[in-house]
Each structure stands twice: as structure tokens, then as C-alpha cells.
Amino acid sequence: MISTSLLLKRVAPFAIAGGIWFAPVPAGLTPEAWHLFAVFVAAISSVLIGAYPLLTASMIAVATVVLTGIITPAKAFSGFANASVLLVVIAFLVAQAVVKSGLGRRISLFMVSRFGGSSLGLAYSLVLTDAAIAPAFPSNTARGGVLFPVALSVARGAGSVPEDEEKRKLGGYLMYCTMASLAVSSALWMTATSANPIGVQIARESGLTIGFGSWLIAASVPALAAIALLPVLVAWLFPPGVTSTPEAPAAARRDLAEMGAWSRADRITAVTFVVMVAGWVAADSLGLNVTSIAFLGLGVLLMTGVLTLDDIAAQGDTLATFLWLAVLFALSGQLNELGFMSYAGERLASHMGGLSWPVTYVLLIVIYVFIHYLFVSQSSQVLALLGVFLDVGARGGVPVPLMAFGLLFASSYFSVITPQGGSQNIIFAASGYLKQNELYRLGLVVTIAFLVIFLVVGTPWVLLVTR
Amino acid sequence: MISTSLLLKRVAPFAIAGGIWFAPVPAGLTPEAWHLFAVFVAAISSVLIGAYPLLTASMIAVATVVLTGIITPAKAFSGFANASVLLVVIAFLVAQAVVKSGLGRRISLFMVSRFGGSSLGLAYSLVLTDAAIAPAFPSNTARGGVLFPVALSVARGAGSVPEDEEKRKLGGYLMYCTMASLAVSSALWMTATSANPIGVQIARESGLTIGFGSWLIAASVPALAAIALLPVLVAWLFPPGVTSTPEAPAAARRDLAEMGAWSRADRITAVTFVVMVAGWVAADSLGLNVTSIAFLGLGVLLMTGVLTLDDIAAQGDTLATFLWLAVLFALSGQLNELGFMSYAGERLASHMGGLSWPVTYVLLIVIYVFIHYLFVSQSSQVLALLGVFLDVGARGGVPVPLMAFGLLFASSYFSVITPQGGSQNIIFAASGYLKQNELYRLGLVVTIAFLVIFLVVGTPWVLLVTR
């Protein structure tokens, strides 16, 4: 039997949907837009209150909007064929090769063996590795899965254990640096997290085309500044206790030696990823389709047997992601197409009327970042709010590329604001090296630091390169 | 190291692709159509010769056609959003509930407990169960997975074992009846196998709309005739030895009693499926989208916890199916759109010129069925040839609905022609109750019987109901 509170939770989304659906349609909106909004809010809020997972909510939502005739089947299903959604799906599959072949671990160990002689050096080696491998890892969760065992073995190797209050600090320091690094490395590369291509697609609906290369140029200065500052900032907020870790490079070298020579799978994976990333970088100028490059990479990894059909058969959760992402993506696009986003934007804009565009820009970014306290996933906030915020900024006179990049980068770096703000955080938060209150305190300060860097350094840079 | 023959196999598809690609483009075709044909033939033949699985071949194929600019990304990816492809994917997920809850096994046992007193009764109970549950099982492989353990336990219960030449016969009889039943029950319902919605979509490109209800009406008479004849025919071709099996109903009742009362999951699954099938039947007249009904069913099963996210996470092979199906489906559609199908149709038609339409019709169906000796999957033949054959028939004056239904039904019943003609056969063919030569001999005769029934009984009926 389920408890009353759970029952209430499970009924709540339907109550929300019904409440909005049957409320009078606001002037300026079509009934279709209003009813779609009712379903969309119910689906997102069912996830926020923990009533149903995203998959369940999105299946019910898409069935509702099609069967009630709000949206045509073709439009409701269009997300499945969207190149950005497909890029996320294929890249998830492709990333398995880096984990499976051990290539990711090899790169991390190499970095530690070179730069790991101090706690700061260890942190930098982890953070820079993350930044370097990120373009080929469109899932920051998968990247976390590669970096976590390295961070753990480095911490253990230096004698840091969660059980000892003093000794846990080095481990906690490295865990937090890596976790925050995942947030900011995701802002550096368009293909570093699944939310990015989604955001790019939403920005395209505002007439802005962003490619792998133009993203990298715009992100480079503020993201690299944030990455450079991160280990120092966290060391100041959460002193690691130990500063010199002379054993770590030797331990990494030992582990590397134990891994032996590069296997055939390592080499094929490395070449495939180098070619894929090169293709992604050159895609804009050569007119290549980014998603097809990912399809080719997957095909090559399958053809060479680096990935097998059994590996794919274990990826049912990628199918679940594909299903909910495609559905919510299409519904969010339809909210826009049916005029809801611009309606909501007008309403929000009317409250912000009379402000100069720089004030509007800063205010919108700050609100957008702190609203993430409410969201458990980056993608769901991007799907729900990015379009509206972009629209409000554009109405307020903010240059569209600046507003778009500001929101896109924020969609990555805000993920450390809470331990549940991004799924990649979970494994680090659960490592035992960090306490809940530390995670929230560090989350707030580090997020504010990222926000300031991206506003102060990023704004003039983005204005410069998008003129 | 891989052997020379395997290496040759793996190079062959690329040689085929290159050979066709660089051959002079035939008059009447655009270079795009010809190059797409080269890639498509290479992909299909790589599967036929066992060089690469469908997933590998289709990933390379879609990347090739997009990166070389033959097809736009939007068209190449359109299969992912196709309602028929999505129906297959969602229905695969939904079918898990019938297996997981034990509802499928419960229904089968009930039938045996009622009608299982003789070998013929046992066969009819299996065959009729199959026909009854088929609309909710879009994968005949999954249906085979439910029926096989029942057939096995019934055979064992009656003392039939593979090791004893005389005693194996009853088991072999039941295995073959069930396997052939899966082929013909797939022809009865539009949602009984994944190839059907694909074929329907291809027929739509020829301007013919087929719904769940119109399919059922057209299929009912010939498919039910074939189902009714099947146990008698196989008993004549492959005598079961034992004719009276008085213990089987009691054993089934025991197994049923052991299963206990209907669980919550059983009841929810049963209600969901009844509602889904009712929705599918009424979809045409009520203007409901069939795929969305499946989405709703999946949503309800997830919401009620009958299916969990863990169940979906185990469905990575459904993702693999989704990927290759969507890609090959889109490429096949593009072959049609670029004029290749009608070109090939004209060529084939020119060889059949001067024939009356009934002769053309019979000849095309017969060729289509026997070509299945070459194909290891129903879907791949449907994707490769159904469109061309339909086009040739239409050019030859065959009424389009007759030609379409004739080919669609054949795409199901031809699967028993070889043990590898449909993946659902494998489990029965590997049961040990049947020998390879028996499978081929029975396959030929039973397929001819199906062909004759569908031509002789089906043709006038389909003409009557599609006027």
C-alpha cells in the first residue's frame, strides 16, 4: 500500500494539469497554447515534486496532447528526428567506448603522473583532464564516471579517507574540484553535456545559429578563466589540509604501468574520437552535419568491435533518455510555436519594463541561475525556461547572441548550486568525503564565482566575438 | 586475428557500395538516387552475407549519405519521428509487461487447460492463444518467448523428449505449429509484428491508407482460414504420434493453480492492453493516433509501477532496433522519393509487360514470397522490396489495395520458409524437437499452403472489402 503523502504527490500533477486546463484562457493565448502549457507544467512539476520520473511524465504528456488534438502527431513526435536530440543519444552510446576501453582512465592517470605532486597540482590535473576530454563526452555524468575513480584512487593513495575528519579534507577538496569542474567544462564545449545541443536548438528558434566552433570561441575566455580559478578558489573555501602529495605521481605511474601497452580498443577509440572532435570543430566551415559525424563514429566503433551489440543492449537507459528528451523537446518547441513563450516573455518583460538592456541582461542571468535551486536536472530547466528568458532578453534590447550564450553557459555552471542540481554530482556527493551542508555552502559560493566570472569576463568577450 | 574469409566479408559491402557508386548512372536516374541505391544495397547485403549487423550497417549508411550530401540531415533522420517506427519501439517496451506480469503465460495455460486433451486440441489451443494475444504483441519474437515455454511444458508433460526419435514427434508437432502460427497470426493483426506498421507506411507512400481496423477486416478471412487449417496440415505432414494427451489439461490447471490469484500487475496489464487494443480498433473511426495510444499505455504501465525504469534500462536492444529501423526506413523512403523505386519498378515491369493484371498479381506475390529464402529478417525484405513490388503491381493494373494487402500478408507468412526467415523461429528451431531438413521441408510446404490460401481465399475477400 502506498502512503497518503505519496498518493497526494501522484495526484498533484493531474490536479495541476486540470486546474490550469479548465481555468479561463488568458487573453492573447489560443486554447491550444494554454492547454499545452497545462500539460507541460504538470509534467515538469511531477518531476520536481518527485511524483513521477521524466519518462513516465513525458509519455503521459505526449499521449494527452495528441489524443486531445492540441498538437498533431507529426509535431508531437518531431523531437525524435531532431538532430540535437539524436546527437545526445548517439554520443551517449559512443562515450561508452572511452569508459570500456580504459582510454579515459589512461588519460587521467597520465595527467596525475605529470602534475600530481601537490594538492593543487592534483586538482589542476583532474580539472584540465576534464576540460580536455569533455568535447567527446556529451554526458557529464559519463565523464564523472571516468574521473571519479581517478579522484578516489588519488585521494586514497595520498592517505585521505572519508572516516577521518582531518584526512578526509584532501579527498573532499579533490571531489569538489572535479564536480565543479564538470559544471564549467560543460560550458566550454557544445558537445560536453546533453543540455547544450538542446539549448542551441532553442536558440535557433530565435534565429541564432550556433555551431561547435562558434560556441568554443565564445566560451573559451570565461570558461578557461573559471577553470583556472577553480582549484585555487576551492582550496581557499575548503582547505585540503595536505598541500604536498609526492606519492600521487608515482602511484599514477604504477597504475599506468599496470594498464600496460595501449590495447587495440584504446587506439581505435582514441583515433575515432580525435577524428570525431576534428570533424565537429570543422563542421561549420566544411558544412558537415555534426550528428552524422557521431553516427559515423558509432558505426566505426561497432564495425571494429570496440563496441558490441551487447554494449548497446545494456544502454536501455539511453533509450529512456531519448524518449523523454524527444517528447519534452518537441512540446517545449510547440509552446514556442503556439506563441506561449512570447506571451510569457511579454508578461515577464512588462515587469522589467524601463530597465536598460545591461540591467535586464544581468537580472535575467541572475534569476535564471538561482531558479536552478528548484530544478533537479539541467535539461528540464533548459527546456522549460531558456526560450522564455531568451525572448525576454531580446525584447529588453539585449543583443540576442549575448543573451543566448549567457543563458547557455549558465545552464552548465549552475549545476553545482545544489548536490542534486545535475546528475553528475550524485557520485561525488555520495563519496562520503563531503557533507550536505558543505555541498550547499560550496555550491552557493562557487556558483556565484562562476556567475561573476561569466558576467564580468564573459560579457565583453562574447560581445567582441559575436559582433 | 580475423580470418581471410571474414576479412573478405567485411570488405565486400564497401566494394559493393563503391562498385555501384562509381558505375555510370543509368539513364532516368539522378546521381543522388543512384548513390543512395549503392549505399542501401551495400547496407542490406552486409547483413545478408553476415558481415555486419543491421545496426552497424545502418549507422555507416546514414553517416555516408548525409556527409556526402546525397540526402539532407532532416530527411535522413525523419524515420526517428515516424509514427510507425515509434509504434514499434513503444510497443516493444509495452510488451514487456505481458511477459513480466505472467499474463501471457496465464492465458496460454488457460487455453491448454480447456482444449488440451488431444494433440490436435493442444495445437489449436496454442495457435488460437497466439492469434488472441497477437494484437498486443508487436514483436512476434516476444510472443514466441511467451508461447515457447508453454509448448515445451505441454510436450514434456505428455512425455515427449527430443532425445527419443519416436517420442520427440509430439513435441516437434507442437513446436512447428506454434512457430508457423506466429507467422500467420502476424498477418492477422496490424500490430502483431514490427514489419507490419513499416509496410503500412510504405503503402501510404503509394497513396493507400490502412488502419488497424481495415487491416483486420482484410486479413480476417484468409488468416483465420490459414490458422484453422494449420494444426491439421502439420499433423498430416509431421504426424505427432500421440493423438490423445489427457494429462496436459490437468498439468496446465496445476501450473495455473501454482501461479495463484491474479496479481495487481496482471490486472493492470490486462486492463491496459484491453483498452489499448480497443483504442487501436476504434482509432480509425474516432480519429485517434495509434502511436499515442501506445505512449499512453506505456505511461500507465510506468505510472502504476507494472513496468519500472529498471525494466526500460534493460531494453537497450530496443534502442538498437529503433536506430537501425529508423535509418533504413528513412533511406528506403528516400529511394522512393528520389525516384529509384519507380525506376526499378519500370525495369521489372518491362519484363512483365503484356501480362493481364491477375497474372501480374500472382506472379509478383509468388516471387516476393520465394525471394524470402535470401532474407534473414522480415523487416529488411519489407524495407528493401515491398515498395518496388507494390509499384510494379500498380503499373501492371493490379488494384493497389489488393496488391498492398497481398504483399503485406506475405511479409508475415513467408517467415517460416526457412528456420532463419524470422527471428521468432530461432527458439523453436533450436528446441531439439525438429531437425534442419524437417524445418526446410515443412517450411516449404506450409509456406506454399499459406500462399495458396491467401491467393485463393484472400484475393476475392480483399477485393470485396476494399471496393
Candidate from A56-65, A81-90, B219-228, B278-287 with smallest mean pLDDT:
B278-287
Q: What is residue B59's predicted lDDT score, i.e. its pLDDT?
A: 96
Q: How many CB pairs under 8 A join A and B?
A: 149
Binning pLDDT at 50, 70 and 90, where does residue B108 land? confident
State how far Cα B427 lies from the chain centre.
15
- DSSP one-letter code for B26: P
Residue A1, pLDDT above cutoff 70: no
User: How far is A332 from chain B, CA to nearest CA, in Å?
Assistant: 16
Give pLDDT tens digits for A414-447.
999 988 788 788 778 878 899 888 998 999 999 9
Give pLDDT tens digits for A152-183.
877 877 778 888 888 899 999 999 999 999 99
Q: Which residue has the higher pLDDT, B356 or B373?
A: B356
User: How far is A210 from chain B, CA to nearest CA, in Å?
Assistant: 17
- Whether B448 is in a domain gets the answer no
- Whether B202 is in a domain gets the answer yes
- Whether B186 is in a domain gets the answer yes
- For residue A25, give the C-alpha cell: 484562457
- Whether A417 is in a domain gets the answer no
Cβ-nearest to B319 among A288, A293, A312: A312
Q: What is residue A2's predicted lDDT score, i.e. its pLDDT?
A: 65
What is chain B's mean pLDDT, rounded?
89
Interface with chain A: mutation pick from B60, B62, B295, B304, highest number of A CBs within 10 Å? B295
- Whether A270 is in a domain gets the answer yes
Interface of B with A in 285-304 (CB under 8 A): 288-289, 291-293, 295-296, 298-300, 302-303
Q: What is residue B455's predicted lDDT score, i.e. its pLDDT?
A: 97
- Taking residues B326-345, report their average pLDDT: 83
Residue B312, pLDDT above cutoff 90: yes
Residue A302: closest CA among B122, B148, B59: B59
Angstrom distance (rounded) from CA A273 to CA A301 = 10
CB contact under 8 A, A292 and B56: no
Q: What share of chain A is helix, strand, coil (3-state, %, to 5)?
A: 80, 0, 20
Confirm whether the ipTM is greater than 0.90: no
- Whether A461 is in a domain gets the answer no
Q: B88 is in which domain, residue-wise? A: 83-316
CB contact under 8 A, A66 and B318: no
Interface with chain B: mutation pick from A319, A322, A329, A334, highest number of B CBs within 10 Å? A319
Q: What is residue B22's predicted lDDT score, i.e. its pLDDT?
A: 96
What is chain A's mean pLDDT, rounded?
89
The reported pTM is 0.82
Give pLDDT tens digits for A264-286.
999 999 999 889 888 887 777 78
Cβ-nearest to B292 among A10, A73, A312: A73
Residue B325, pLDDT above cutoff 70: yes
Residue B2, pLDDT above cutoff 70: no
Contacts (Cβ under 8 Å, ≥6 apart) of B23 = none
Give pLDDT tens digits for B71-84.
999 999 999 998 87
* Cα A256–Cα A262–Cα A263 angle in degrees, nearest 5: 125
Binning pLDDT at 50, 70 and 90, where does residue B1 land? low
Q: What is residue A304's predicted lDDT score, i.e. its pLDDT?
A: 94
- Whether B132 is in a domain gets the answer yes
Chain B CB contacts of A86 under 8 Å are 77, 80
User: How far is A447 from chain B, CA to nearest CA, in Å?
Assistant: 32
Q: What is residue A449's predicted lDDT score, i.e. its pLDDT?
A: 97
User: How far is A273 from chain B, CA to nearest CA, in Å?
Assistant: 16
User: How far is B300 from chain A, CA to nearest CA, in Å?
Assistant: 7
Query: CB distance from A317 to chain B under 8 Å?
Result: yes
- Whether B441 is in a domain gets the answer no
Number of domains making up chain B: 1
Angstrom distance (rounded) from CA B226 to CA B416 = 13
Alpha helices in A193-315 (DSSP H): 195-205, 212-237, 247-259, 264-286, 290-303, 309-313
- Taking residues A92-119, report their average pLDDT: 80
Give pLDDT tens digits for A349-391.
788 878 899 999 999 999 999 988 877 678 878 988 899 999 9
